Structure 1
Amino acid sequence: MADLTLASADVGATPKMPMSAEPARTILALDLGTTTGWAIRGFDGLITSGTVSFKPGRYDGCGMRYLRFTNWLTEIDRLSGPIEAIYFEEVRRHAGTDAAHVFGGLLAVLTSWGELRGVPYQGVPVGTIKRHATGHGNANKQAMIDAARKRGFSPADDNEADAIAILLWAIETQGGLA
């Protein structure tokens, strides 16, 4: 089941970050939503990004999107991990009730998945991500895509661009500890 969701992910550019003397930690960055943007830096320093859809099928029960997300996380961890840290876009306001419910459900799955495996996770405020990527805390979707392209990536959409920005923020600020 998880292989199908990975196969349907749109994989973006893979620029390599400068390597230090010690191996890089595997970091996963997520822009949670029905179409989830993701970016991961592997232990080798290679960054891969894409999107994956957790839209429920016509005959799916309410919990299937969350089971698919759990399976996807486990598969990413198996293929690229072990994941040592997870960063996600911490959204405080949603335009609609459905988006808020989906975000909350995916966040619950993500945090419980991390807790079960001892993987630390951290939410990053939207304004922090946008300011780091573009210099403006209220940048629009196109500005985020343009900022990712300027850094050598080819995001398919704003979800992937946001995930890339979160990952770059985590790497460049040591997750806010710099």
Structure 2
Amino acid sequence: MPTVRLESNIGSRTVGVAGIINRFAGLDCVGVCIEELFSGQFSGVKALLPMLGAAVLTCELAGLPWSAIHLAQLKIHATGKGNAKKPDMQGAAHARWGVDLKEDEADAAWAAAYALDTPLFN
């Protein structure tokens, strides 16, 4: 039965990814920076593939530019270290923005910062 819960969680998260992109896909949106898949346990990749597909499809349908960025690049941008851990990313986010973010929120914030701080979409 845990597989059923995992599958429904993947589905709801996939729909959530598309909803977030659509919500912020206004005229001032320069593009969407998507974290590339990384090797790991199959269950993690299995969960990320549908979300990656939803993000790319939503961007294409909305006419938004998108780019997949290697996780190490985001970590270097945030902390200066390509092997930074989640707490490092959170600490860098707190140092830059003065807010405490959850692990996944910090990763997403750094993807957005990377897109804005670099010529990714220029």
| Structure 2 CA distance for partners of 1:155 and 1:175, relative to 1, 3 Å | farther
Aligned pair 1:75/2:20, yes or no?
no
2:88 matched to which residue of 1? 143
> What secondary structure is seen at the aligned counterpart in 2 of 1:151?
helix
Unpaired runs of 5+ in structure 1? Answer: 1-55
Distance 1:101 1:165, change over 3 A: same
- Point out the more displaced range, 117-126 or 150-159: 150-159
Contact 2:78–2:110 (CA<8 Å) still a contact in 1? Answer: yes
2:62 is matched with: 117
Report the count of equivalent residues.
117
- Structure 1 residues 63 and 136, CA gap change in structure 2 (3 angstroms): closer
Q: Which structure would you say has the larger RCO, counting Cα contacts within 8 Å and 6 or more residues apart? A: 1
Distance 1:147 1:68, change over 3 A: closer
Give 2:48's aligned residue: 103
- Asked if residue 168 in structure 1 is aligned to residue 108 in structure 2, the reply is no
User: What CA deviation, in whole Å up to 9, does each residue of 1:69-100 have, x standing for no partner?
Assistant: 333432333xxx24330001112212x22221
The CA RMSD measured in Å over matched residues stands at 2.6
Q: Which has the higher strand share?
A: 1
User: Which amino acid counterpart does residue 76 of structure 1 have in structure 2?
Assistant: F
Question: Kindly tell me: are residues 135 and 72 of structure 1, through their superposed partners in 2, closer, same or farther at Cα, counting changes over 3 Å?
Answer: closer
| C-alpha spacing 1:121/1:144, structure 2 compared with 1 (3 Å) | same
Q: 1:84 aligns with which of 7, 30, 41?
A: 30
Change (3 A) 1:107 1:146: same
Match of 1:23 in 2: none
What percent identity do the matched residue pairs reach?
25
* CA separation of 1:155 and 1:93: change in aligned 2, threshold 3 A: farther
State TM-score, norm by structure 1: 0.57
Where does the alignment leave 5 or more consecutive residues of structure 2 unmatched?
none
- For 2:86 and 2:34, locate their aligned partners in 1 and report how far apart those are by CA, in whole Å: 17
Q: Which structure has greater helix proportion? A: 2
Normalising to structure 2: TM-score of the pair?
0.79
Q: Describe the shift of the 1:111–1:145 C-alpha distance in structure 2 as closer, same or farther (beyond 3 A).
A: same
Give the match's secondary structure for 1:123. strand
